[in-house]
Amino acid sequence: MKIIMLGAPGAGKGTQAKKIAEKYKIPHISTGDIFRANIKGGTELGMKAKSYMDQGQLVPDDVTIGMLLDRISQDDCQNGYVLDGFPRTIPQAQSLTAALNERGEKMDYAVDVDVPDEAIVNRMGGRRACVKCGATYHVAFNPPKAEGICDACGDSLVLREDDKPETVQKRLTVYHDQTQPLIEYYSKEGILVTVDGTKGLNEVFEDIVAVLGA
């Protein structure tokens, strides 16, 4: 089962992608993870990706597509995978479709987790991250035991640059301009599924499973 997760930044598609991967025993492939691995390793592609991500911009296709296609060629993807964060643009979607066609494959579902912009700004503005161990919290939905302190390692929590309202708004503008057209693209492909992302996390997952099958 090959699944693409769609939705604005902060809509919760990453969380749902992980739950789908766990339930159906297929890899969760996040371009964010691929980027972070390259950034951590100090690769040329990683540094190039970081320069765009720091500005709240999308990473160019030539930096992204090669890494992605290599990943889905690995053995653990034989029974399918969940793509989280790719494709982000129509050209990327077309490149992915063409690459899969060459292998005699195709995507099965594109799941759009739909959340209004205002709710996303509120959600992301409440996120807090530990600079030491990377643990994440939310002041309303998943608060630490002690305000501003990481439960895991005791270090300070911060509001990350990309979670600040002005950065979120910029990311949403980029999303509506470049990524939202994918909804129409995959609708025409006949594989689009839309779920209400404002519901509780488990409710959203139940709605997705109802479509994908038990």
Is 103 tagged catalytic?
Answer: no
**Catalytic site residue from 160, 164, 170, 199:** 160
Catalytic entry in 2, 19, 123, 127: 127
Among 19, 71, 88, 123, the one annotated catalytic: 88
Please report, for residues 138, 148, 152, 159, the alpha-carbon distance to residue 165 in angstroms, rounded to integers and kept in the order given: 15, 19, 26, 10
DSSP code of residue 156: B
Query: Catalytic residue at 160?
Result: yes
Task: Give helix 165-174 / helix 117-125 axis angle, nearest 10°.
Answer: 140
71 is an active site residue: no
- Candidates 13, 19, 123, 128; catalytic one: 13
How far is CA 184 from each of CA 5, 93, 120, 196, 208, rounded to the nearest angstrom?
14, 12, 21, 17, 19
The Cα 80–Cα 11 span in angstroms is 23
Task: Give the rounded distance of the alpha carbon of 187 from its chain centre.
Answer: 19
Q: How many helices (H) and strands (E) does the chain have?
A: 9, 8
**Among 94, 104, 100, which residue's Cα sits nearest to residue 188?**
94
Query: Is 171 annotated in the active site?
Result: yes
Residues known to be catalytic: 13, 88, 127, 160, 171
